[in-house]
Structure 1
Amino acid sequence: MKTLPETILEQSRQLPEGGVLAPKNFVHLGSRAAVDQALSRLAKAGKLVRVARGTYAAPVTSRFGTRPPAPDKVIRAIAEQRGETLVPHGARAANALGLTQQVPIKEAFLTTGRSRTMKFGKTEVLVQHAPRWMLALGSTLAGEAVRALAWIGQTHVSEAVGKLHGTLPESEWNSLLASRTILPTWMAQAIGRENAHA
């Protein structure tokens, strides 16, 4: 019969990169204290990576050696496990949509869950709670546009909305127009003005 650590390791190897394990996945195999201790020892031995309190992932081994799993994959797996919506931060969205040349130095995400900072080796990733309106359109281009505009702010919103109108596909622009009732007044008005001028 396999030991608890062997069972945990076997399960961790079956997960895709970034897949996460928590003590509750193994309490049917032993006491909570025994499970916690096994996970902790595996992390200390470098066989698992502790990515958050009570959350572990398998390191990735390749011919170049061992590295922590990609942060975005782990964060997405945790969000899915907790039933949270997770999207890239507005700075990244603004860069992707061509509204800024600035490339964010720190990896950051917005979530319906609580704010937290997660460590992956030397990399720190910020997961920030965001209001529902920022996440309402999900990972669509219109959703990215909302987050980009929120990051750009009121001062430069008109110029940014003008650029978006020229680059977003018509269906995404219409989606952005339709969402004005849930957006902050300054943003909704800028989108409305741009649409009237078109």
Structure 2
Amino acid sequence: MTTLPESIRLHARSLAEGCFLSPKEFLHLGSRAAIDQAFSRLAKSGDLLRVARGMYVAPVSSRFGTRSPSPEKVVRAFAEKSGEIVVSHGANSANALGLTQQVPTREIFLSSGRSRKLNLGRSVVTIKHAPQWMLALGSGPAGEAVRALAWMGQAHVNKSLGALHRRLSEADWDTLTSSRAALPSWMAKAIGQESLRG
């Protein structure tokens, strides 16, 4: 018969990289105390990583040893499980869109939910609550553009918009311009002016 820790370990290994396990999922196998103890032992032995309270992920094994799952995959799994909108931070968006050469050193994401930290071995992933207008266009290019502009700031908005207008597809630019009513005044005005330059 499979032991409780072994059942949890086997289930963890069957999941895709970054997917969460919660002690609540295993209540059919034993008492809450026994399950909590099994999770605690698996975390101590390195078979599981405790990401946050009641949230665990399996490390990824490869021929180079074990590593933490990728932050992007963990955050994607977190968004699916929590039902929150979670998108990349403006610094990442600005870098991805070629507005800055700066490569963010910390893993930060923006969310419709509350701010929190997820521990992934030696690294910490920060999820920050963001206003609705930063999340409204989702994770597509137009949404990335909004967050990049917010991060670049009002002083750099005109130069940034010129680069974005050249970079975004016509459809993505139209999505950005049609969302002006939801954006801060300074950003909406600058997008309108850039559209007139056409």
SS of the residue corresponding to residue 114 of structure 2 reads coil
Q: Determine the structure 1 residue equivalent to 2:114.
A: 114
Gaps of 5+ in 1: none
TM-score of the aligned structures, taking structure 1 as reference length? 0.96
Per-residue deviation at 1:121?
1.8
Q: Determine the structure 1 residue equivalent to 2:196.
A: 196
Deviation per residue, 1:134-174 (Å, 9 max, x gap): 11111110000000001011111111111111111000000
Deviation per residue, 1:54-112 (Å, 9 max, x gap): 11111111111111211221121112101011111000100111111111111111111
SS of the residue corresponding to residue 125 of structure 1 reads strand
Superposition pairs for residues 43-58 of structure 1, below 5 Å?
A: 43-58=43-58
Alignment-mate amino acid for residue 56 of structure 1: Y
SS of the residue corresponding to residue 66 of structure 2 reads strand
Superposition pairs for residues 1-198 of structure 1, below 5 Å?
A: 1-198=1-198
Question: In structure 2, what is the Cα distance between the partners aligned to 1:174 and 1:64?
Answer: 46
Question: In structure 2, what is the Cα distance between the partners aligned to 1:24 and 1:150?
Answer: 39
Supply the RMSD in Å over aligned alpha carbons. 1.0
SS of the residue corresponding to residue 105 of structure 2 reads coil
Question: In structure 2, what is the Cα distance between the partners aligned to 1:160 and 1:68?
Answer: 35
Per-residue deviation at 1:53?
1.2
Percent of pairs identical after alignment? 62
Question: In structure 1, what is the Cα distance between the partners aligned to 2:30 and 2:132?
Answer: 40
SS of the residue corresponding to residue 124 of structure 1 reads strand
SS of the residue corresponding to residue 181 of structure 2 reads helix
Per-residue deviation at 1:126?
1.3
SS of the residue corresponding to residue 118 of structure 1 reads strand
Alignment-mate amino acid for residue 79 of structure 1: A
Alignment-mate amino acid for residue 178 of structure 2: A
TM-score of the aligned structures, taking structure 2 as reference length? 0.96
Gaps of 5+ in 2: none
- 4+ residue runs of structure 1 moved beyond 2 angstroms? none
